[in-house]
Amino acid sequence: MYLGIDAGTSEIKALVINAEGDIVASAGARLSVQRPHPHWSEQDPDAWWQATQQAVSALRPKVGAQWSEIRAIGLSGQMHGAVLLDSADKVLRPCILWNDTRSAAECAELTAHTPELHTIAGNLAMPGFTAPKLLWVARHEPDIFARTACVLLPKDYLRWKMSGDKVSDMSDAAGTLWLDVARRDWSDTLLAACGLSREQMPRLVEGSQATGTLRPEIARQWGLSESVMLAGGGGDNAATAVGMGAVNPGDAFISLGTSGVLFAVNDRFRPNPASAVHAFCHAVPDRWHQMSVMLTAASGLRWLCELLGASETTLLAEVAALSQSVQQSAPLFLPYLSGERTPHNDPDACGAFHGLTHASNRAALAYAVLEGVTFGLADGYRVLEEAGTRLSECALTGGGARSPWWAQLIADVLNLPVVTHAGSEAGGALGAARLAWLAAGGDASQVCRKPAEQRRYRPDAGRHQALQPRYRHFQLLYQQQREARMQGY
């Protein structure tokens, strides 16, 4: 048996698979995000650990007597977060999260002062990445920066709590802007640009590599053997790719979670920072990947549900009942509730409804949100194509994958077959469990196979063409917003 733990933004999810790769049981514990100031997004690392304990406690009785057969644990997690520890391993401040956009000025500073950045890291400096967060801390919280002895990513903080080891994997480390992504090693040049050294960084391993074993007290508390090993694991999207069997060049998937990701596997490092495309290491050796990332995806629908006091199930049903003519006249929605990454790299971009009338009911607003997120995915697909990536189909995972209507809309807008797989909602937790299996000696051809196909959504060419005017209008609205901000509005 193999345990996967995914440290998401909204939930800690724990999942167990057996020696055939089948999901035995899963459990989760919810998390909240703190936003004390505009552009800020933070979480208390101790809340992750408490939620992990809750998730494991809830999962254990579901697995029953087989629980003791767990041999390895894999970790997946939200990327880019900065957990700062002092020399006594005390957390110095709340973790600054991936969707925190306070460090835009520091991104400009890092870019201006480090000409090697794009060549080594393969990515633009964006506020979501870890490096500019540390520059912000150095500028605004110099006492904390001076006391920082180690910087850990979210899932690696959980690893440290579980095993005492300060370790990260290549895929997660690639999102810091401190990794030489082609060489899969820390870059002394990029660390020095932030006033740091590799002594303050965790040890690096591949995601399928064993890193250590459980602390004896945690093993006793969880009812597991002290010999249970921990795998390197992966950043959430790379781990999700392992769970989806997306480990070979040409494999691709869309993840509709808090953020929206279009992920494509490569057999070499293929950076294209000019279009805000991410180029990272994969969680398996000798693989890299490209990603387009939008900061608001399924979370946009959750935001609307909270605003309207309606459930997602109800709103999705109302959207599915809308006629084509009502859809064509619905407002347009810019989904930039937390700024945007690909392709705009614009932390100040904001959400907006355009074209509201007295006829705009809540179903029309919900349609606009789903369509706006899908248009954002299309923006990402466009720049991946410009970077030379060609896809023949795309898997779909994440919370948004539960909606057949949304899956069909994505296929129609992208003009690309979309496939859902059994267990795809498990996301990074399944990939983390598979990486644990690999670390325990599993054969990659068996462990990383694609799950059974659940449903295939073929694009409707007529609907694709019908949506193009709205898509062009969507793109124009963003440009108008940006121009207005440049003029001081």
**pLDDT 10s digits, 331-366:** 999 999 989 989 998 989 999 999 999 999 999 999
Beta bridge partners of 14: 5, 27
Is 55 a residue whose pLDDT tops 80?
Answer: yes
User: Mind listing the domains of the chain with CATH numbers?
Assistant: 2-245 (3.30.420.40)
Q: What percent of the chain has pLDDT over 90?
A: 87
**pLDDT 10s digits, 86-139:** 999 999 999 999 989 899 999 999 999 999 999 999 999 989 899 999 999 999
Average the pLDDT over 204-219 and give the result: 97
pLDDT for residue 388: 79
pLDDT for residue 390: 85
Q: Do the beta carbons of residue 95 and residue 43 sit within 8 Å?
A: yes
Using the 8-state DSSP alphabet, how is residue 91 labeled?
A: B
Is 4 a residue whose pLDDT tops 90?
Answer: yes
**pLDDT 10s digits, 228-277:** 999 999 999 999 999 999 999 989 999 888 889 999 998 889 887 877 88
Q: Do the beta carbons of residue 310 and residue 302 sit within 8 Å?
A: no
Using the 8-state DSSP alphabet, how is residue 357 labeled?
A: -
Check whether 79 is labelled as a binding-site residue: yes
- Kind of pairing between the strands at 167-169 and 453-457: unpaired
What's the chain's average pLDDT? 95
Is 30 a residue whose pLDDT tops 90?
Answer: yes
Collapsing DSSP to helix, strand or coil, 311 comes out as coil
Range with the lowest mean pLDDT among 54-58, 215-219, 271-275? 271-275
pLDDT for residue 236: 92
Instruction: Write out the DSSP string of 253-269.
Output: EEEESSSEEEEEEESS-
Average the pLDDT over 174-188 and give the result: 97
Round to whole Å and give the CA distance between 455 and 129.
35
Q: What percent of the chain has pLDDT over 70?
A: 100
Is residue 22 part of the annotated active site? The answer reads no
Check whether 80 is labelled as a binding-site residue: yes
pLDDT for residue 85: 98
| pTM of the entire predicted model | 0.86
Is 397 a residue whose pLDDT tops 90?
Answer: no
**Torsion sign, CA atoms 298, 304, 310, 316:** negative
Confidence of residue 405 (pLDDT cuts 50, 70, 90): very high
Active-site residue identified among 100, 169, 236, 346 = 236
pLDDT for residue 465: 97
pLDDT for residue 74: 98
Confidence of residue 389 (pLDDT cuts 50, 70, 90): confident
Based on the number of CB atoms within 10 Å of its own CB, is 35 exposed (0-12), middle (13-18) or buried (19 or more)?
Answer: middle
Q: Do the beta carbons of residue 367 and residue 327 sit within 8 Å?
A: yes
pLDDT for residue 354: 98
> CB-hemisphere CA count at 13 Å for 11?
19
Confidence of residue 213 (pLDDT cuts 50, 70, 90): very high
Alpha carbon 297 to its chain's center = 11
pLDDT for residue 271: 82
**pLDDT 10s digits, 420-465:** 988 777 779 999 999 999 999 999 999 999 988 999 999 999 999 9
Confidence of residue 327 (pLDDT cuts 50, 70, 90): very high
Is 407 a residue whose pLDDT tops 80?
Answer: yes
